[in-house]
Structure 1
Amino acid sequence: MPRLLDSDDLLERYDASARERVVAEPPKRVDAPERTPFERDRARVVHAAASRRLAAKTQVVGPETDDFVRNRLTHSLEVAQVARDLSRALGCHPDIAETAALAHDLGHPPFGHNGERVLADLAAECGGFEGNAQTLRLLTRLEAKSADAEGRSVGLNLTRATLDACTKYPWARGAGPGGAADPKFGVYADDAPVFAWLRAGVDGPRRCVEAQVMDLADDVAYSVHDVEDGIVVGRIELTALDTAAVWQTVREWYLPEADDDELDDVLAGLVAQASWPSAPYDASRRSLAALKNLTSDLIGRFCGAVQAATFASGPGALVRHGGDLVLPERTLLEIAVLKGVAAHYVMQTEDRLAVMARQREVMAELVALVAHRGPDALERAFADDWAAAPDDAARLRVVVDQVASLTDASAVAWHRRLLGRG
């Protein structure tokens, strides 16, 4: 197993191109704390307004539902911790992987993936909507930090290596592995120039290893923590799973070809773990501690398996595009089983489906109301974008940018205000 590198050794693995920014920046004051380029990137994401808004955006259960459950911000912090630990173990730069993890959900609109699907439909005429493409847009345009020589915003002006690590789907709409039907993409057409800059020297859609670490950390964190949240709010009981129903959800949502015997065997392996509960959750401190131990053990199980498989695959340098993570098939199945448990017991319940239907109505009506009112309904920065927009498609993109920036609560408040209800 490779030794852990100190910070200077890690930094030397990233060349001048990896550290470059769209707009060159002069050195900081001599009396300012000395920081690496990637530490500065991390600080900029932490202090971004879009990061603060994540605290009021839905993860799975709405942030107003329970004081314990995750919101998008707490989820992002947990993903960042997993990514940082894994990247250090693998030998890539932990500040890059952590920053990518902190940023990975910045582009999510109100109401999580439910709101994302609404905006994707409504934005069809201006290039669609995808949370990851919106993240790139925020980092390189919408967040106010730096400007180019012409006065145009370049967002947070992050380094090339960090922006590349934030790019989970490094392709344009319709250009992914699934072709035109693939809903996932990482860049809108009018953000193509900065995308070309950050991908300079990279052929094809291969993700850098730091982006792979971020993506795995996201999968690990939400597969484990969504189950934890579901248990605490009383929707999931791990000692009494209806496996037939859960396996059907796994096939419908994640693994169409998985059969019951295979999934039964994967669950049996998870249940055999010492920290898997043997008694129902009762909200006592003992139960809470046991649940925390389970989540910790599962995260360690998944990350440890990937780390071992990656090291066993060869001695390649796990920096930028010099290597790839190896994800064991068994680990992917275990993660899918946990996702299926959360999806079945939390996301498909009748009360949840009713709430989601109302959320979609609010989002669709809000886009229509803002588009009708135009600049009068927009915050100043977006009103300026509207004024500069050359056509209706560009103005629709401004409306979508504005609505996507809102939190769950502010989306509801804007909807009520624009309807004249308060």
Structure 2
Amino acid sequence: MVDVEQERAPWAALSSHSRGRLFPEKMSPTRSEFQRDRDRIVHSTAFRRLAHKTQVFVPHEGDHYRTRLTHTIEVAQIARALARALGLDDDLAEALALAHDLGHTPFGHTGEDALEAAMADFSGFDHNAQALRIVTRLEHRYAAHDGLNLTWETLEGLVKHNGALLDAQGAPVPRYAKRGVPLAILEFDQQFPLDLSHYASAEAQAAAVADDIAYNAHDIDDGLRAGLFDLTALSQVPFIAELLAEIEALHPGLERARLVHELVRRVITRFIEDVITESTRLLESSGAASSEDVRRQGRTLVRFSAAMAETERALKKFLFAHMYRHPKVMKVRDEATSVVLALFLRFFKTPADMPPEWAQAAQGVSEERRARLVCDYIAGMTDRYAVSEHMRLFGHAPTLR
């Protein structure tokens, strides 16, 4: 196998120096450890289900809107581009991008909010923790172990998608201050310590910012396509107004479909170029001589510049008001919430209504354990399967339109 690690930047994660897997395995003669992780993720059941899980719109709305799978592919493409430009291990960045949404529920963030409410008395629900459960417990594919047995670096990056979970004193960071770090993460950390008070690798940081870039770009595209807002309204964001003026100067009177595409591609390009410039500056000035040095910086080094971060916040603010809280989207959210909550209550009360393997696992266990089993079952559902289960059990289902 060609040694490409000699081309990496000093702060890159090195597959040859991986901290290993929970269950030791022989190394592959043809693939790096991070390439094996990527391949295992792609071949997992959870990954295939992303094709039928909502991003913002449910699939019933049409064939041209993003699903979790199309979003994931776009994130992976951007993560690889960032990793290559920064001299990182692009296989690790890609693996993390491909895995980052495995723990999401049917119906997007709506389903997550519903499960979080349903699990309020049972240690809660968190999609990063659910992704960890999937890749360490819920995938039943290999003869020697449950889960995918991914490397420490991939598991670390998956759990720390939004940064460190504990502060230097071991207390939960602000986003977990109220509810605490998810129990699934804490339990696994006892078995295979993930250094929860440190930041993740630069590759994981690249995958996280790639997620933000992809979200913003494709939500503009999907929101315009769905007619939730128009280009005039979107021009309220100065960044967008500047890009539209640039396109008009280069291609006067461009037809709308081409105009939207030119806009979206420029949004992606500007964000990527900004991250590369800012991250190169931060990484070089940090003095980091290894991936471990990156983890101990106490801050994110792969990120937007201050000016672009402000632009990104302005764009998110617009999308929140004009897309995520649009009456059409809110109506679907309410219907999807009712589906998830009804399924949870039914399965929790009558576990026998679940498939035999799940029903059997729920026999004679504590309420906490039963709730977690029901949660795992529902979280793994696709949108259409959740709707069909609601129809099977209750004789009707919302239209989700």
Alignment TM-score, normalising by the size of structure 1: 0.80
Please give the alpha-carbon distance, in whole angstroms, between the structure 2 residues aligned to 1:318 and 1:110: 42
Partner secondary structure for residue 210 of structure 1: helix
Please give the alpha-carbon distance, in whole angstroms, between the structure 2 residues aligned to 1:179 and 1:397: 20
Tell me, yes or no, if the aligned pair for 2:15 and 2:32 is still in contact at 8 Å.
no
Q: 1:174-213 counterparts in 2 under 5 A?
A: 175-181=172-178, 188-196=182-190, 198-200=192-194, 202=195, 204-213=197-206
Please give the alpha-carbon distance, in whole angstroms, between the structure 2 residues aligned to 1:314 and 1:119: 39
Which residue of structure 2 lines up, in the alignment, with residue 348 of structure 1? Answer: 325
Please give the alpha-carbon distance, in whole angstroms, between the structure 1 residues aligned to 2:337 and 2:247: 37
Partner secondary structure for residue 163 of structure 1: helix
Within the candidate set 317, 322, 330, 2:293 is matched to: 322
Deviation at 1:383, TM superposition (A): 3.7
Change (3 A) 1:277 1:364: farther
Tell me, yes or no, if the aligned pair for 2:13 and 2:291 is still in contact at 8 Å.
no
Which residue of structure 1 lines up, in the alignment, with residue 115 of structure 2? Answer: 119
Which residue of structure 1 lines up, in the alignment, with residue 71 of structure 2? Answer: 75
Alignment TM-score, normalising by the size of structure 2: 0.84
Change (3 A) 1:242 1:293: closer
| Residue 144 of structure 1 pairs with residue 121 of structure 2 | no
Deviation at 1:171, TM superposition (A): 3.0
Tell me, yes or no, if the aligned pair for 2:248 and 2:254 is still in contact at 8 Å.
no
Which residue of structure 1 lines up, in the alignment, with residue 102 of structure 2? Answer: 106
Q: What is the one-letter code of the residue matched to 1:322?
A: D
Identity score, percent? 33
Which residue of structure 1 lines up, in the alignment, with residue 262 of structure 2? Answer: 293
C-alpha RMSD over aligned residues:
3.0
| Residue 88 of structure 1 pairs with residue 64 of structure 2 | no
| Residue 160 of structure 1 pairs with residue 158 of structure 2 | no
Q: 1:5-404 counterparts in 2 under 5 A?
A: 6-7=4-5, 9-10=7-8, 13-14=13-14, 18-27=18-27, 34-146=30-142, 153-167=145-159, 168-169=161-162, 170-171=164-165, 175-181=172-178, 188-196=182-190, 198-200=192-194, 202=195, 204-241=197-234, 243=236, 267-273=237-243, 278=248, 286-315=255-284, 316-317=287-288, 320-323=291-294, 324-374=301-351, 376-383=352-359, 385-387=361-363, 390-404=365-379
Please give the alpha-carbon distance, in whole angstroms, between the structure 1 residues aligned to 2:264 and 2:290: 29
Structure 1 stretches of 4+ moved >6 Å: none
Deviation at 1:199, TM superposition (A): 4.1
Partner secondary structure for residue 100 of structure 1: helix
The size of the alignment, in residue pairs, is 377
Deviation at 1:92, TM superposition (A): 1.7
Deviation at 1:13, TM superposition (A): 4.9
Please give the alpha-carbon distance, in whole angstroms, between the structure 1 residues aligned to 2:387 and 2:54: 13
Change (3 A) 1:67 1:7: farther
| C-alpha distance after superposition, 1:327-369 (max 9, x if no partner) | 3121112222222232222222223222211211111111011
| C-alpha distance after superposition, 1:30-61 (max 9, x if no partner) | xxx71111111111111111111111111112
Higher relative contact order (CA 8 A, sep 6+): 2
Tell me, yes or no, if the aligned pair for 1:104 and 1:166 is still in contact at 8 Å.
yes
Change (3 A) 1:269 1:192: closer
Deviation at 1:156, TM superposition (A): 0.6
Deviation at 1:77, TM superposition (A): 0.3
Change (3 A) 1:7 1:63: farther
Partner secondary structure for residue 332 of structure 1: helix
Please give the alpha-carbon distance, in whole angstroms, between the structure 2 residues aligned to 1:356 and 1:319: 45
Change (3 A) 1:46 1:380: farther
Tell me, yes or no, if the aligned pair for 1:208 and 1:319 is still in contact at 8 Å.
no
Deviation at 1:102, TM superposition (A): 0.8
Tell me, yes or no, if the aligned pair for 1:227 and 1:338 is still in contact at 8 Å.
no
Tell me, yes or no, if the aligned pair for 1:110 and 1:406 is still in contact at 8 Å.
yes
- Give the gaps of 5 or more residues in structure 2: 295-300
Tell me, yes or no, if the aligned pair for 1:275 and 1:297 is still in contact at 8 Å.
no
Tell me, yes or no, if the aligned pair for 1:104 and 1:132 is still in contact at 8 Å.
yes
| C-alpha distance after superposition, 1:261-283 (max 9, x if no partner) | xxxxxx3344223676659xxxx
